[in-house]
């Protein structure tokens, strides 16, 4: 059973960089036809896709966040990471990592989510 777990600081100051890591267990991040994604959800609001990465390092980002976002992968550690630069209060949200199954077009496994608050 594949499991994903987000980790990183829960509080980030405005203008700084938000950094999160997703650790994948129960299977190799390199196996199968999957993309590894970050999704966020501000309190009381809907889901927003941030970006994705393949294990070969190919990335796609949400056009609204593209200038701020960097997603990377470390296959040796079975992890992928998110960096969001120049954050503001509007970036306060629960951040989820998730696996995208390309054969079915679904996010089939999700992390539990981690709340990141942007505040001084």
Q: Is 110 in the site for another protein (CB under 8 A)?
A: yes
Q: Which is nearer to another protein, 60 or 85 (CB)?
A: 60
Q: Does 106 bind another protein (CB under 8 A)?
A: yes
Mask 50-69, x = binds another protein (CB under 8 A)? --x-------x--x------
* 104 is a contact residue toward another protein (CB under 8 A): yes
Q: Are 14 and 89 in contact (CB under 8 A)?
A: yes
Q: Does 47 bind another protein (CB under 8 A)?
A: yes
Residue that the structure tokens 């990183």 belong to: 8
Q: Which stretch binds another protein (CB under 8 A): 17-25, 67-75, 82-90, 103-111?
A: 103-111
Closest Cα partner for 114 from 14, 23, 15, 13?
23
User: Does position 112 bind another protein by CB under 8 A?
Assistant: yes
Q: What is the DSSP string of 41-80?
A: E-TTS--EEEEEE-TT--EEE-TTTTTTEEEEEETTTTEE
Cα separation of 104 and 2, whole Å?
A: 17
Is residue 10 a contact residue for another protein (CB under 8 A)? no
- Scan for tokens 């999700």, then name that residue: 110
Q: Which positions lie near another protein, rule CB under 8 A? A: 45-49, 52, 60, 63, 96, 100, 104-108, 110-113
């Amino acid at each position: 059973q594949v499991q994903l777990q987000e980790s990183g600081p829960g509080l980030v100051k405005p203008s700084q960089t938000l950094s999160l890591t997703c650790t994948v267990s129960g299977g190799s991040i390199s196996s199968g036809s999957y993309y590894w994604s970050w999704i966020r959800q501000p309190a009381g609001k809907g889901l927003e896709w941030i970006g994705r990465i393949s294990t070969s390092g190919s990335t796609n980002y949400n056009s609204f966040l593209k200038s701020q976002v960097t997603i990377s992968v470390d296959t040796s550690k079975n992890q992928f990471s998110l960096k969001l630069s120049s954050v503001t209060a509007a970036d306060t949200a629960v951040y989820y990592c998730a696996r995208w199954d390309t054969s079915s077009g679904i996010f089939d496994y999700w992390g539990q989510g981690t709340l990141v608050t942007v505040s001084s």
